[in-house]
Structure 1
Amino acid sequence: MRKQLNDFLDLLIRERGLSENTIEAYRSDLSQYLAFLMESASCEKWGDVTEVVVMNYLYHLKDQGCAPATLARKAAAMRGLHRYLMRSHQMVNDPAYAMDIPKIKQKPLPSMLTVNQVEQLLAAPDTRTRTGKRDRAIMEVLYATGIRVSECIRLNRDQVNLGLEFIRCVGKKGDERILPLDPEAIQALQSYITELDHESALKKNGQPLFLNRLNKRLTRQGIWKILKQYAEEAGISVPISPETLRQSLTAHLLQNGASFEFVDELMGRTHHSASMRYPRPNRLPFKKLYTTYHPHVRSK
Structure 2
Amino acid sequence: MEAFGEGLADTTLKTLQTHLSSFNAWLSNSARGAWDRVRLDDVRAYLQEISESRSFATLRLRHWALRRLYRWASEQDIANVRIDAVLLPARAPARSPPRVPSVQQMERILAMPDTGTPAGLRDRAVLELLYATGLRADELLRLRIDQVAGALCMRVMGKGAKERLVVYGEHAANWIAQYKSVRHALLSAGGHCTTSTARLFVSDGRYPDYRYSQLRRMVSRYAAAEGLQLTPHSLRHAFATHLYQGRAPLTTIQMLLGHEHLETTTRYVSRQFEDDHALLETHHPRGGQYRRLMRDAGAVQSNERHRLWAVHTQPKSSLCEPSRASRRVSASDLR
**TM bracket (short chain):** 0.5 to 0.7
How many angstroms apart in 2 are the aligned matches of 1:212 and 1:128?
17
Matched residue SS, 2:164: strand
**What corresponds to 1:84 in structure 2?**
none
| Residue 186 in structure 1 maps to residue 221 in structure 2 | no
| Residue 285 in structure 1 maps to residue 285 in structure 2 | no
Residue 227 (structure 1) aligned to one of 209, 213, 219: 219
How many angstroms apart in 1 are the aligned matches of 2:140 and 2:54?
35
**What corresponds to 2:210 in structure 1?**
218
Q: Per-residue deviation at 1:185?
A: 0.5
CA contact (8 A) 1:258 1:293 kept: no
How many angstroms apart in 2 are the aligned matches of 1:176 and 1:222?
26
Q: Per-residue deviation at 1:170?
A: 2.2
**What corresponds to 1:295 in structure 2?**
330
Q: Per-residue deviation at 1:206?
A: 5.7
CA contact (8 A) 2:153 2:167 kept: yes
| Residue 112 in structure 1 maps to residue 136 in structure 2 | no
Matched residue SS, 1:285: helix
CA contact (8 A) 2:186 2:203 kept: no
Aligned pair count? 271
Task: Decide whether aligned partners of structure 1 residues 242 and 198 sit closer, same or farther in structure 2, where only a CA change above 3 A counts.
Answer: closer
How many angstroms apart in 2 are the aligned matches of 1:144 and 1:247?
11
Q: Per-residue deviation at 1:249?
A: 0.9
How many angstroms apart in 1 are the aligned matches of 2:221 and 2:55?
35
How many angstroms apart in 2 are the aligned matches of 1:63 and 1:186?
47
1:25-104 equivalence runs, <5 A: 102-104=90-92
Residue type matched to 2:221 in 1? Q
Task: Decide whether aligned partners of structure 1 residues 150 and 70 sit closer, same or farther in structure 2, where only a CA change above 3 A counts.
Answer: closer
**What corresponds to 2:319 in structure 1?**
none
Residue type matched to 1:240 in 2? L
How many angstroms apart in 2 are the aligned matches of 1:125 and 1:293?
18
Q: Per-residue deviation at 1:176?
A: 2.4
CA contact (8 A) 1:180 1:287 kept: no
Task: Decide whether aligned partners of structure 1 residues 209 and 105 sit closer, same or farther in structure 2, where only a CA change above 3 A counts.
Answer: same
What do the CA deviations read for 1:146-200 (whole angstroms, capped 9, x no partner)? 11112211111012132x2123322233322221111210000011112236899
What do the CA deviations read for 1:50-105 (whole angstroms, capped 9, x no partner)? xxxxxx99x9789977865577789999xxxxxxxxxxxxxxxxxx99x8961321
How many angstroms apart in 2 are the aligned matches of 1:122 and 1:204?
29
Residue type matched to 2:139 in 1? E
Task: Decide whether aligned partners of structure 1 residues 228 and 286 sit closer, same or farther in structure 2, where only a CA change above 3 A counts.
Answer: farther
CA contact (8 A) 1:146 1:249 kept: yes
Give % identity. Answer: 24
Task: Decide whether aligned partners of structure 1 residues 206 and 286 sit closer, same or farther in structure 2, where only a CA change above 3 A counts.
Answer: farther
How many angstroms apart in 2 are the aligned matches of 1:24 and 1:200?
30
How many angstroms apart in 2 are the aligned matches of 1:200 and 1:62?
42
Q: Per-residue deviation at 1:121?
A: 0.8
CA contact (8 A) 2:187 2:202 kept: no
Q: Per-residue deviation at 1:298?
A: 3.1
How many angstroms apart in 1 are the aligned matches of 2:132 and 2:228?
20
Unaligned runs of 5+ in 1: 1-9, 29-55, 78-95
| Residue 155 in structure 1 maps to residue 143 in structure 2 | yes
CA contact (8 A) 2:248 2:331 kept: no
CA contact (8 A) 1:133 1:188 kept: yes
Task: Decide whether aligned partners of structure 1 residues 157 and 23 sit closer, same or farther in structure 2, where only a CA change above 3 A counts.
Answer: closer
Residue type matched to 1:273 in 2? L
How many angstroms apart in 1 are the aligned matches of 2:195 and 2:333?
36
**What corresponds to 1:170 in structure 2?**
157
How many angstroms apart in 2 are the aligned matches of 1:287 and 1:293?
18
How many angstroms apart in 2 are the aligned matches of 1:210 and 1:76?
31
**What corresponds to 2:322 in structure 1?**
none
How many angstroms apart in 2 are the aligned matches of 1:65 and 1:126?
43
What do the CA deviations read for 1:238-265 (whole angstroms, capped 9, x no partner)? 2121112111111111111222322222
How many angstroms apart in 1 are the aligned matches of 2:166 and 2:152?
9
How many angstroms apart in 2 are the aligned matches of 1:243 and 1:185?
18
TM-score by length of 2: 0.56
What do the CA deviations read for 1:100-141 (whole angstroms, capped 9, x no partner)? 961321111112111111111111112222111111100011
Task: Decide whether aligned partners of structure 1 residues 13 and 100 sit closer, same or farther in structure 2, where only a CA change above 3 A counts.
Answer: closer
TM-score by length of 1: 0.61
Residue 141 (structure 1) aligned to one of 93, 106, 129: 129
